[in-house]
């Protein structure tokens, strides 16, 4: 496993080798020992699987009290994955990046203390992510998707009521 640093502190694009032949392909998508060499000693406690249709925007989600680190990968279709640094002490606080993810060797490490969301670019997409803490509904928050000048590439997103009513960045809970 290899890592490519992003513009945001502590965030990485993780890549793996893909072996292809006349039978198809094989990749080791996760290896805890290799991941921990890159991101540090995190324990992954939950896997999540999302299936969405074109123009769905999920996010920008985060948890207070129990911030989750995530390794995000798209296993079918294509997504535009966005992360926002909500750590006040970080030199990249308040900044965001977007990365296109599709099946293959590229995954995104989202450190604890970041908001995360994505838009589906293809007709349908499946996204898997490993998280470093459990989901606590009472601590879930949603940053308003339209607040930071992110070009999501659609004027008519399909979104949950919760995400449509997200909190402005200036008013959202942040991490110390």
Known catalytic residue: 129? yes
Q: Residues 66-103: pLDDT tens digits?
A: 999 999 999 999 999 999 999 999 999 999 999 999 99
pLDDT at position 107 over 90: yes
Q: Residues 131-173: pLDDT tens digits?
A: 999 999 999 999 999 999 999 999 899 999 999 999 999 999 8
Check residue 176 and give its pLDDT.
Answer: 79
Q: Considering the domain boundaries, does residue 70 fall inside one?
A: yes
Check residue 165 and give its pLDDT.
Answer: 94
Q: Considering the domain boundaries, does residue 7 fall inside one?
A: yes
- Is 109 in contact with 11 (CB distance < 8 Å)? yes
Q: Work out whether the CA dihedral 55, 14, 62, 95 comes out positive or negative.
A: negative
Q: Work out whether the CA dihedral 95, 4, 81, 142 comes out positive or negative.
A: negative
Q: Considering the domain boundaries, does residue 81 fall inside one?
A: yes
* Structural domain count, the chain: 1
Q: Considering the domain boundaries, does residue 119 fall inside one?
A: yes
CATH number, domain of 160, equals 2.60.120.10
Only one residue has tokens 């995104």, namely: 108
Domain that holds residue 129: 2-171
Say which of 61, 62, 80, 116 is annotated catalytic: 61
How far is 51 from 141, CA to CA, in rounded Å? 21
How far is 12 from 4, CA to CA, in rounded Å? 5
Known catalytic residue: 139? no
């Amino acid at each position: 496993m290899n890592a490519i640093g992003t513009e945001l502190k502590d965030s990485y694009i993780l890549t793996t080798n893909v072996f292809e032949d006349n039978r198809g392909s094989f990749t080791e998508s996760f290896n805890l020992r290799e991941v921990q060499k890159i991101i540090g000693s995190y324990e992954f406690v939950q896997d999540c699987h999302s299936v969405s249709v074109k123009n769905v925007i999920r996010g920008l989600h985060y948890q207070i009290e129990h911030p989750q680190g995530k390794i995000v990968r798209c296993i079918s279709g294509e997504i535009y994955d966005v992360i926002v640094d909500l750590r006040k002490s970080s030199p990249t606080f308040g900044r965001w990046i977007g990365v296109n993810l599709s099946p293959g060797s590229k995954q995104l490490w989202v450190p604890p203390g970041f908001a995360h969301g994505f838009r589906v670019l293809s007709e349908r997409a499946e996204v898997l992510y490993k998280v470093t803490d459990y989901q606590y509904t009472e601590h879930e928050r949603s940053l308003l998707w339209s607040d930071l000048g992110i070009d999501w590439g659609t004027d008519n997103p399909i979104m949950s009521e919760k995400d449509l009513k997200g909190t402005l960045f200036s008013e959202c809970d942040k991490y110390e």
